[in-house]
Amino acid sequence: MDILQKLTEDLAISMKSKEEGSDLRTSTLRMMKAALKNAEIAKRGKGDLNDDDVVSILSTMVKQRKDSFDQYVAASRQDLADKEGREIAIIQEYMPKQFSPEELDEVIRATIRETGVTNMKEMGKLMKELLPKVKGKADGKAVNQRIRELLEGA
């Protein structure tokens, strides 16, 4: 089942549900559906969204919420930070399984071996090869930081 179809079915179930906390889930699913619909409209008839497009949009939504979470924590607004955290968890349910730190390290090391990159000056070459492999499965900031650690330690 594709992500968009699962999202649509889960939204219908959530709307019918009377469970505590289903309001946040329903509103988050509606936001996700709206973002995907806007992206589909932006494509203007160039085909439907595929799973890669959906994962990219959901990754952007997670990144936005992580940024908001950090800002709320810095402003001592834990109530709003908690809400953002719950929204992140709901969105991530529809994304591919995230890499563990060990899995991420292995993918980065393998790509370093494939590309022959040895220093930070060649990081662009490495990122070009690595990003398609980790898209939607790892946070870009974490990937960038780990590459720096591995290249500077080498």
Q: Domain tally for the chain?
A: 2
pLDDT band for 90, please (50, 70, 90 cuts).
very high
- Report whether pLDDT(61) > 70: yes
pLDDT score at 87: 96
Please check whether residues 108 and 64 belong to one and the same domain.
no
Which residue, of 45, 74, 92, is where some domain finishes? 92
What Å distances lie between residue 6 and 1, 32, 102, 108, 109, CA to CA?
7, 12, 30, 31, 34
Domain that holds residue 147: 101-153
State the pTM of this model.
Answer: 0.77
